[in-house]
Amino acid sequence: MGAGSGTSNFVIRWINFFTMLIAIAVIIFGVWMSTHHDSCRRSLTLPVLGLGAFIFLISIIGFLGALKNNSILLWIYLIMLCIILVAILVFTVLAFIITDNASGHNAPGLRYKEYQLQDYSSWFLKQLNNTQNWKRLKSCLVKSEDCNNLSKKYKTLKQYKSAKLTPIEAGCCRPPSGCGYPAVNASYFDLSFHPVSSNKDCKLYKNSRAIKCYNCDSCKAGVAQYMKTEWRVVAIFNVILFVVLSMIYFVGCCARRNVAGGRSIA
């Protein structure tokens, strides 16, 4: 075996060591997502962890192929890496298409935006209008206590009215501003007033800790906005990952060609 082939094997080993580090970073990112968010907001945790584990697996195959100078393992490595690149590209394009709409609506006197379900893609509508999906999401929204903690977070009505609520807090913890219900405090509204709007969410909202606006379309829209934000973060992360893995794949192909050329010369 020639010096060029030996150099190529050395390059492939280091490439795969670098890829293993990337895989570990992806797994750490997935673990961070699982610990940073509650169960309602972990929709992408398992796919990210799975991606990291798969990249780690093919890195080991490539590393062993270079270490043992095994042509079959190196071919398996390049084929699997190509599959990963195609999968990342498809997922990223779909993620940007799905999240390429709905920016929220400004309401008079509010520092935060309100969101409407019909503004989101048909994929989001299908997922959130599915009875079983929403039952599970609603259950963990109630358990999260986000809505009930608002009164602890904002002690006075003035603080609450000037607060910048999250999409889920704005959509699930209070009736839409168009209803016209006066706020007594951060977790209680005076429902004795006749709603100004014909929006069905106005009648669905209750002050009860277990009901709030969890059955409202505004709540589903708040969850959709949160999911959209998370999908965008993962999509941007995938773009960076795609560029890095493409460079590794290109160098790996060149190195593999050099290994084959070194063998033929030898």
Judge whether 84 and 56 are in contact, CB under 8 Å: no
Residue 29, pLDDT > 70, answer yes
- Same structural domain, 150 and 72: no
Residue 36 placed within a domain: yes
* pLDDT tier, 266 (very low <50, low <70, confident <90, very high otherwise): very low
Q: How far apart, in Å, are the Cα atoms of 28 and each of 35, 52, 201?
A: 10, 9, 40
Residue 175 placed within a domain: yes
- Same structural domain, 219 and 242: no
DSSP state of 34: H
Angle at 36 between CA 215 and CA 232, to 5 degrees: 75
Structure tokens at 41: 């907001």
Residue 129 placed within a domain: yes
Domain membership of residue 137 as a residue range: 105-223
Averaged pLDDT score across all residues of the chain: 83
Q: How far apart, in Å, are the Cα atoms of 260 and each of 2, 68, 199?
A: 11, 14, 69
- Same structural domain, 115 and 68: no
- Same structural domain, 86 and 119: no
- Same structural domain, 64 and 126: no
In this predicted model, which residue has the larger pLDDT, 198 or 69? 198
Judge whether 213 and 205 are in contact, CB under 8 Å: yes
Residue 229 placed within a domain: no
Cross-strand partners of 105:
114
- Same structural domain, 70 and 126: no
Residue 233 placed within a domain: no
- Same structural domain, 111 and 219: yes
Question: CA dihedral defined by 167, 151, 38, 171, rounded to 10 degrees?
Answer: -20
Instruction: Output the pLDDT for position 219.
Output: 95
In this predicted model, which residue has the larger pLDDT, 198 or 264? 198
- Same structural domain, 96 and 121: no
In this predicted model, which residue has the larger pLDDT, 5 or 81? 81
| Low-confidence winner among 45-59, 91-105, 244-258 (lowest mean pLDDT) | 244-258
65: burial class by Cβ within 10 Å (0-12, 13-18, 19+)?
A: buried
Judge whether 63 and 15 are in contact, CB under 8 Å: no
Residue 52 placed within a domain: yes
pLDDT one-digit tens code per residue, 131-169: 888 988 888 888 777 888 898 889 888 888 888 899 999
Q: Dihedral of CA 8/9/11/12: which sign?
A: positive
- Same structural domain, 146 and 44: no
- Same structural domain, 79 and 146: no
pLDDT one-digit tens code per residue, 36-52: 655 555 656 777 788 88
Q: How many domains does the chain have?
A: 2
Kind plus residue range of the DSSP H or E element containing 123: helix 122-129
| Low-confidence winner among 114-118, 210-214, 219-223, 249-253 (lowest mean pLDDT) | 249-253
Residue 232 placed within a domain: no
- Same structural domain, 94 and 109: no
- Same structural domain, 110 and 211: yes
In this predicted model, which residue has the larger pLDDT, 91 or 108? 91
Cross-strand partners of 106:
113
Instruction: Output the pLDDT for position 173.
Output: 94
Residue 64 placed within a domain: yes
